[in-house]
Structure 1
């Protein structure tokens, strides 16, 4: 079970890094907000689900 938590945390950190770099670049580019709005909202939703799943799995260990 510990390996699952480690994998989930790694995925969460990697995805967070991608979002931290990608969202400001998208917002700073002229005209990109209209094209990338759905992608940004989807990424934020996936990130929130990853946080919840990681928390649920972590509650089984502690």
Structure 2
């Protein structure tokens, strides 16, 4: 079970890094927001889901 938590945290950190770089670049680029907003909203939803799932699964470990 701890391996699952570690993999979820690794995915969470990788996605967070991508979002921290990708969102400002998208907002600063002219015309990119209209093209990429669905992808960004989906990525944020996955990020929130990872936070919740990791927290719930971690409560069974501690």
User: Shorter-chain TM-score category?
Assistant: over 0.9
If the length of structure 1 is used for normalisation, what is the TM-score? 0.96
The number of equivalent residue pairs is 62
CA deviation vs aligned residue, 1:2-47 (integer Å, no higher than 9, x gap)? 1111111011000100000111100100011111111110010000
Unaligned 5+ runs, structure 2: none
If the length of structure 2 is used for normalisation, what is the TM-score? 0.96
RMSD between aligned residues: 0.6
Alignment of 1:20-31 (within 5 A): 20-31=20-31
Paired residue for 2:38?
38
Paired residue for 1:19?
19
Moved over 2 A (4+): none
